[in-house]
Copies of this chain bind each other. A is one copy, B any other.
Amino acid sequence: SIIHTDHNGLTQEEFANLKEKTIKAKDLSYSPYSNFRVGATILTTCGEYISGANVENASYGACICAERTAITRAVVSGFKSFRAIGISTDLKDKIGSPCGICRQVIREFGLNVSIYLFNVDGSKYFRVQLKDILPLSFGPSDLGLPEHDG
């Protein structure tokens, strides 16, 4: 299975921080159109936590998901190497999963990222690896550029 329930090298403290910041990030959501709040938090290889939330738009195609506001915030803060990403929605009975756009944006910076999918309050979660949820991906090497994580 591609679904894991361990912490994949995160310490107890790192995992707890990631979870807490991911749940809390939902408060930053601007989602008056879907009323579907999403929070995301990145843990960089430098040990920084950087959060994002979905920022919607009257023109739906201009909506930017939580994962992407977090990734771009990390990049423009000087970080391009990521250990883990936590994601949480307000779905009650299931655990949300990143859309294809966000998988593509995360993938740009490496395939070996752990994605922790938390339920609404963080009481349940599972872990997937980006490469397992975007197999045969299209990336920098397809356009002749070097990959970020080899």
Contacts of A91 in B (CB 8 A): 142
A46 lies within 8 A of chain B by Cβ: no
Complexed CA–CA distance, A63 and B128 (Å): 24
Complexed CA–CA distance, A53 and B78 (Å): 11
- Pick from B73, B98, B145: contact of A73, CB below 8 A: B73
One digit per residue, 1 when the CB lies within 8 angstroms of any chain B CB and 0 when it does not, for chain A 102-134 equals 111101100000000000000000001000111
A72 lies within 8 A of chain B by Cβ: yes
Contacts of A36 in B (CB 8 A): 143
A101 lies within 8 A of chain B by Cβ: yes
Contacts of A73 in B (CB 8 A): 69, 72-73, 76
A51 lies within 8 A of chain B by Cβ: yes
A30 lies within 8 A of chain B by Cβ: yes
Give residues 12-48 of A contacting B (CB, 8 Å). 25, 28, 30, 32-34, 36
